[in-house]
């Protein structure tokens, strides 16, 4: 659960950069899976969850800005 706290402590620019890097990493992992070069298949799921956490924090901030 420490990872979500780390994500929430990032500023908006860091979140967007991290989201972009994670999406590129996911694309790379999918290519490696297709070419049978990926040995740790759980890394795809971990990356997807990381992207979801980042997007959740971004959405939480959007909602809190609108309500404030």
pLDDT tens for the chain, 68 residues long, are: 568 999 999 999 999 999 999 999 999 999 999 999 999 999 999 999 999 999 999 999 999 999 87
Of 45, 60, 67, 68, the closest CA to residue 15 belongs to 60
| d(C-alpha 22, C-alpha 55), whole Å | 11
Cβ–Cβ < 8 Å for 44, 33 = yes
What residue ranges define each of the domains in the chain, with the CATH number in brackets? 2-67 (1.10.287.310)
Name the pTM for this structure.
0.91
Of 16, 21, 24, 25, the closest CA to residue 55 belongs to 16
Task: Pull the structure tokens for residue 3.
Answer: 């990872």
């Amino acid at each position: 659960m420490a990872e979500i706290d780390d994500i929430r402590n990032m500023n908006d620019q860091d979140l967007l950069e991290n989201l972009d890097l994670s999406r590129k990493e996911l694309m790379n992992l999918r290519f490696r899976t297709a070419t049978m070069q990926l040995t740790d298949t759980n890394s795809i799921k971990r990356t997807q969850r990381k992207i979801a956490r980042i997007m959740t924090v971004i959405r939480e901030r959007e909602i809190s800005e609108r309500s404030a």
